[in-house]
Copies of this chain bind each other. A is one copy, B any other.
């Protein structure tokens, strides 16, 4: 869809701005590891500059109409400065993954400046083995509304030989900023035909901005099911306590084939295996904290993208909320997978089936915006203990300036009173976990990462395989 000067934020996008708190940031991103040698800052800037016209939203900022009812609109940022958004930094020696995680966590601990286009992209030199990294950070309100064409998509090539982008080199000129009267008029325009205003504080499904009313209704029915489930509140855990603004990250690097082996041998979907691994890891971690796990089942919020026809007959992404069961009370990994499958089968008979069906084919999907799915939801710790989001990426190598992308660790966000979010992204045979934790509540996030790794290894072994970690150009974790 177009990303035009003067677009008004959808109700959902506006809600991401409204929901943001000092300690609960609404930006998401990823840590990408690429083969070296790192490009120079100038080359990288020029590359981004050459693709920026494909994603106009990245040169737009928020303008707030002077009326309470007026939701913000996107306007061109006349003083747009690419050097502000694209930043160059380096790791201290030896350039370990631990140092990279510390850097990325610091970057994600700081809110984006709302007076500027809502994104940053950091070029990171000095990673060990001659590699380099990119750390992205983009506000929900930006990535959500553009539905499929974001900077992360357009900056990559499908081949090692950099390609010229269509219309590359055409000069960009900012549209003039609206004056206060124009801004006021723009703020109220369209309010009458607003398809769905979300009740404040209620659990809400968000829909594709272009979705038809039918689709909205269908999504709401699915959500109703989840809301019902919420009448049994999620259990209290050390995860669900007030959080601060600071973050920690842990990365777990896995091979997608390990998940497929488990699925093919023991049954279920890739997503069932993911939930089983997360439940197993949380079990170990909770017990290391002295928390009793007898009878304890945590509840994950799992945003799911389903492909539907929109009213123009085009394929579009639509998001439904799924409740992901995390039976941490089950010690045996095979039994734990069985419980997850059973719970998921039960959910399939409800409206949540839409999501479950979509999940089974997850690896075939390629929604281009990392984690955009997660951005269309509101959260409540009464309903969910943590966010677990599984984002399928391309299953072939992609390149930037001729350098191959090796690993992608997605970074989600923490709603208030949630100390952990698990984001997973598959890419080119890998299945990488990015764990985002509150800095003070999760000093032991590395233990949790290791516990997830162990939980997968147990399942692989139970399936008769040998846990291999990730092969091919593996970057040690």
Beta-carbon nearest neighbor of A106 in chain B: B87
B88 touches A90 (CB 8 A): no
Q: How far is the CA of A46 from the CA of B424 in the complex (A)?
A: 37
Contact with A245, one of B103, B113, B246 (Cβ below 8 angstroms): B113
Chain A count of residues within 8 A CB distance of the other chain: 27
Q: How many copies does the complex hold?
A: 2
- Stretch from A91-99, A162-170, A196-204, A299-307 forming part of the interface with B: A91-99
List of B residues within 8 angstroms of A102 by Cβ: 87-88
Contact with A84, one of B79, B113, B125, B439 (Cβ below 8 angstroms): B439
Q: How far is the CA of A99 from the CA of B83 in the complex (A)?
A: 12
**In the complex where A90-B90, A92-B126 touch, is A115 in contact with B244 (Cβ < 8 A)?**
yes
List of B residues within 8 angstroms of A99 by Cβ: 88
A92 touches B103 (CB 8 A): no
List of B residues within 8 angstroms of A440 by Cβ: 79, 81
Contact with A126, one of B79, B103, B110, B126 (Cβ below 8 angstroms): B126
Q: How far is the CA of A88 from the CA of B103 in the complex (A)?
A: 9
**A interface: dominant SS:** loop
Beta-carbon nearest neighbor of A38 in chain B: B92
B92 touches A92 (CB 8 A): no
A329 interface contact, C-beta 8 A: no
List of B residues within 8 angstroms of A244 by Cβ: 113, 115
List of B residues within 8 angstroms of A115 by Cβ: 244
Q: How far is the CA of A228 from the CA of B472 in the complex (A)?
A: 74
**In the complex where A84-B439, A126-B126, A440-B79 touch, is A41 in contact with B92 (Cβ < 8 A)?**
yes
Q: Which A residues are within 8 Å of any B CB, using their own CB? A: 41, 79, 81, 84, 87-93, 99, 102-103, 106, 110, 113, 115, 123, 125-126, 244-246, 439-440, 443
- What 10 additional pairs, Cβ within 8 angstroms, besides A41-B92, A87-B106, A90-B92? A88-B99, A88-B102, A90-B91, A90-B126, A92-B126, A110-B110, A113-B244, A113-B245, A115-B244, A126-B126
